[in-house]
């Protein structure tokens, strides 16, 4: 093992990177496994066990082996549930006698990437403090148990997740409903069609054939246009697009209109408000949510609590304020109560289909009163990520745009937490102006940071 080892840095959603390169290479992963094992052993208890799952990438087996070598060196037993979604893994960590869960996934990233998301025994992601402690331990530990580890295979544990959804939506009957489901050739490829059929739906499978390399390849939540064609071709009532690990959902209604997380927050916010179940009359959303969402909810007397990007930030704000609903434009929707504050595209779809009148009048009708501001997003590849205030040219251009937009528009400038990208997002009533301003600011960012 290298004597110049640099500990991994956990980003906005665990570890992520190109498989085989730092931090997603065997030495680092063994140390992460050992560090997690030490943390779990400190919490006490005998026969500490961890459950693992993956979203179908070809690198998953050797990543699991490296993690297990570290965990076994710390005297932690490992159970593998195989191909699954992140919310299914989180549910098993929460409902079964496991000290933690590890999801091997790079979410919406292409197949050459991979990552790990770590969940505690209550199904929530590790705290920032625990992640920092993991980083410190990784620098100290050198696990020597490098033999072929023993991993217990328990694919049947997925039935526990199926039973959970069946119990939550016990009154839901989807008989005579035709649904299209796109699992992005990822973790939901088997479980999503199975669960929807269990509720009686006729299911058309789209991108549900993982081969280790095709995950997110022009399909799934990031590429819903294929679902638009499928919904129209099969005359389906709803199209459900999951991302690679199934924790987000983008939907296509029967008219072929794409419905993202902002549409969903409006729909569920309105429904919970009418039922008297929207705690504090507040919806939690990130800085990326459309200004139209804020305006539409305000007309209903609903406030918006704004957080940084990332479902973890949404979850923390919901916990702190006792709020019932939150989410991201990207399709992460979190519900308190039965939703357990866990993003789950399939759970969200079932929740939508459970709303009174949706099946009878159609999904499109449920969204009819929501209007968004035109929004444009440009991703700029960058070589470095200094604070924006340290780059005068970017700061000056951003301030000029904000002055021009005033209260009738919005600029969001931020770095991706998982990729070498700077995201430039602008929204306002005039789409031509929005696109022009985005191009201008993106050009400045590229000039300053792409070298």
Query: Cβ atoms within 10 A of the Cβ of 113, count?
Result: 23
Strand order of the β-sheet with 282-286 is: 303-307, 282-286, 325-327, 333-335
Residue where the block lists tokens 């081969």: 211
Report how far residue 69's alpha carbon sits from residue 296's, in angstroms, rounded to the nearest whole number. Answer: 52
Number of helices and strands in the chain (H, E): 15, 18
The answer to whether residues 123 and 159 touch, using CB atoms and an 8 Å cutoff, is: no
DSSP 97: S
Q: How long, in residues, is the chain?
A: 451
385's CB contacts (< 8 A; 6+ apart) are 415, 420, 422, 449
Report how far residue 290's alpha carbon sits from residue 313's, in angstroms, rounded to the nearest whole number. Answer: 18
DSSP 14: B
Residue where the block lists tokens 């595209």: 345
3-state secondary structure of 111: coil
Catalytic-labelled residue, pool 59, 107, 111, 124: 107
Report how far residue 201's alpha carbon sits from residue 291's, in angstroms, rounded to the nearest whole number. Answer: 35
Residue where the block lists tokens 């490296």: 66
DSSP 24: S
Q: Is 107 a catalytic residue?
A: yes
Q: Nearest CA to 418 among 258, 325, 269, 309?
A: 309
The answer to whether residues 307 and 347 touch, using CB atoms and an 8 Å cutoff, is: no
φ/ψ (deg, to 5) at 106: -115, 25
The DSSP annotation for 328-355 comes to: -TTS-EEESGGGTT---HHHHHHHHHHS
Do β-strands 325-327 and 249-253 pair in parallel, antiparallel, or remain unpaired? unpaired
DSSP 113: E
- The residues carrying an active-site annotation are 107
């Amino acid at each position: 093992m290298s004597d110049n080892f640099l500990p991994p840095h956990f980003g906005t959603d665990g570890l992520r990177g190109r498989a085989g390169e730092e931090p997603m290479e065997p030495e680092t992963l063994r140390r992460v496994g050992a560090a997690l094992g030490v943390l779990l052993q400190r919490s006490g208890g005998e026969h500490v066990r961890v459950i693992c799952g993956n979203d179908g990438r070809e690198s998953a087996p050797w990543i699991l082996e490296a993690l297990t070598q570290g965990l076994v060196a710390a005297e932690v037993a490992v159970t593998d549930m195989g191909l699954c979604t992140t919310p299914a893994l989180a549910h098993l960590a929460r409902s079964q006698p496991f000290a933690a869960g590890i999801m091997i996934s790079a979410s919406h990233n292409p197949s050459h990437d991979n990552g790990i998301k770590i969940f505690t025994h209550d199904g929530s992601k590790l705290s920032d403090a625990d992640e920092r402690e993991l980083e410190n331990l990784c620098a100290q530990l050198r696990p020597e148990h490098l033999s072929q580890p023993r991993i217990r295979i328990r694919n049947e544990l997925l039935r526990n997740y199926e039973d959970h959804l069946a119990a939550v939506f016990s009154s839901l009957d989807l008989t005579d409903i035709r649904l299209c489901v796109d699992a992005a050739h990822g973790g939901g490829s088997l479980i999503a069609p199975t669960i929807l059929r269990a509720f009686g739906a006729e299911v058309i499978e789209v991108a549900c054939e993982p081969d280790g390399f095709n995950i997110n390849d022009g399909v799934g939540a990031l590429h819903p246009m294929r679902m638009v064609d499928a919904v129209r071709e099969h005359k389906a009532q709803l199209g459900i697009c999951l991302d690679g690990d199934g924790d987000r959902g983008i939907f296509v209604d029967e008219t072929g209109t794409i419905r993202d997380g902002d549409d969903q927050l409006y729909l569920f916010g309105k429904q919970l408000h009418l039922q008297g179940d929207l705690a504090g009359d507040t919806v939690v959303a990130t800085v990326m949510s459309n200004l139209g969402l804020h305006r539409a909810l305000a007309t209903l007397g609903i406030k918006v609590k704004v957080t940084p990007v990332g479902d973890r930030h949404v979850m923390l704000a919901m916990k702190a304020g006792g709020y019932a609903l939150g989410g991201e434009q990207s399709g992460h929707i979190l519900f308190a109560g039965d939703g357990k504050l866990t993003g789950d595209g399939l759970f969200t779809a079932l929740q939508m289909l459970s709303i009174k009148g949706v099946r009878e009048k159609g999904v499109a009708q449920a969204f009819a009163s929501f209007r968004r501001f035109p929004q444009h997003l440009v991703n700029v590849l960058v070589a470095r990520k200094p604070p924006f205030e340290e780059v005068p040219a970017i700061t000056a251009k951003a301030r000029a745009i904000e002055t021009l937009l005033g209260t009738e528009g919005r600029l969001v400038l931020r770095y991706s937490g998982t990729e070498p990208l700077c995201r430039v997002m602008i929204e306002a009533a005039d789409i031509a102006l929005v696109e022009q301003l985005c191009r201008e600011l993106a050009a400045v960012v590229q000039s300053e940071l792409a070298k």
